[in-house]
A = this chain, B = another copy of it.
Amino acid sequence: MRIGELSRRTGVSVPTIKFYVREGLLPAGELTSPNQAAYEEAHVRRLRLIRALLDIGGLSVAGIRDVIEAVDDRERPVHEVLGAAAIRMVPRYDREPGTGIEEARERVTDLITARGWRVHTDGGAAEALATALAALEEVGHGLFAEVLDVYADAAEKVARADLEYVAHHVAREELVESTVVGTVLGDAIFSALRRLAQVDASDRAFGRTT
């Protein structure tokens, strides 16, 4: 199909499609004449992936490029690529709290050990967790870490459901792409559900009884 049809089918404007090609997010179409290129179904799917990562996941263009490189890397074992994609999609924080980060890292290592999780204790997700815990401590809510086990239980159940979905519904060549989509959209879904459940819990605790 031509770029105009690709644009209509995905709702992404032609200049934006060209921008994604220049930025290396989308493979160029096959040239059929000096100033015309043909696009395939794969382009439609890739564009939808980019928009999901951008609009729902809130990833930057650079972040999307990282994730797509992991998705396209067919040479590495599945497990390694899944791990790499999951880790790259952890938001990076610009600022490191001056104090408490060492203690927070120790707490994360303890948690991983207690849970028996087979993960690197010095990876991006572990560091992201330590940064958030240190920030909690800094704003005076260190005790919040008491509920960390409830969060970890919930995360285990969700991650198991994620993997079961992937194992049952996804062709092997789409495995990594699906995991990436599920990770980003799954975060957005969980975040929205948590808000709804909080409003409900707050209404039951503090709301009017009428």
List chain A positions with a Cβ less than 8 A from chain B. Answer: 11, 45, 48-49, 51-52, 55-56, 58, 77-79, 82-83, 86-87, 89-91, 93-95, 97-98, 112, 115, 117-119, 123-126, 128-129, 131-133, 135-136, 138-141, 143-144, 146-148, 150-165, 167, 169, 178-179, 181-183, 185-208
Least Cβ–Cβ distance between A149 and chain B, in angstroms? 9
**What is the bound-complex CA distance between A105 and B167, given in angstroms?**
27
- B79, B129, B147, B208: which contacts A162 (Cβ < 8 A)? B147
Known: A153-B157, A163-B201. 11 other contacts (CB 8 A): A52-B138, A55-B93, A79-B208, A86-B195, A117-B196, A118-B207, A144-B185, A151-B186, A162-B194, A162-B201, A186-B194
A18 vs chain B, min Cβ distance (A): 18
Chain B residues within an 8 Å CB radius of A208: 77, 79
9 A-B pairs with C-beta separation under 8 A:
A52-B135, A79-B208, A83-B202, A87-B199, A129-B196, A132-B188, A141-B181, A144-B186, A151-B189
**B190 with A141: CB separation less than 8 A:** no
In the assembled complex, which residues on chain B have CB atoms less than 8 Å from the CB atom of A185?
A: 132, 135-136, 139, 141, 144
CB < 8 Å neighbour of A79 from B115, B157, B207: B207
| A155 in complex: contacting residue of B79, B132, B193, B207, CB < 8 Å | B193
What secondary structure prevails in chain A residues at the interface with B? helix
A188 contacts across to B, CB distance below 8 A:
91, 128, 131-132
Contacts of A159 in B (CB 8 A): 194, 197-198, 200-201
CB distance from A131 to the nearest CB of B (A): 7
Contact B192 A132 (CB under 8 A): yes
**Chain B contacts for A144, CB-based, 8 A:** 165, 169, 182, 185-186
Among B55, B78, B135, B189, contact of A95 (Cβ-Cβ < 8 Å): B55
In contact, A202 and B163 (Cβ under 8 angstroms): yes
A204: B residues at CB distance < 8 A: 118
In the assembled complex, the CB of A46 is this many whole angstroms from the nearest CB of chain B, namely 10
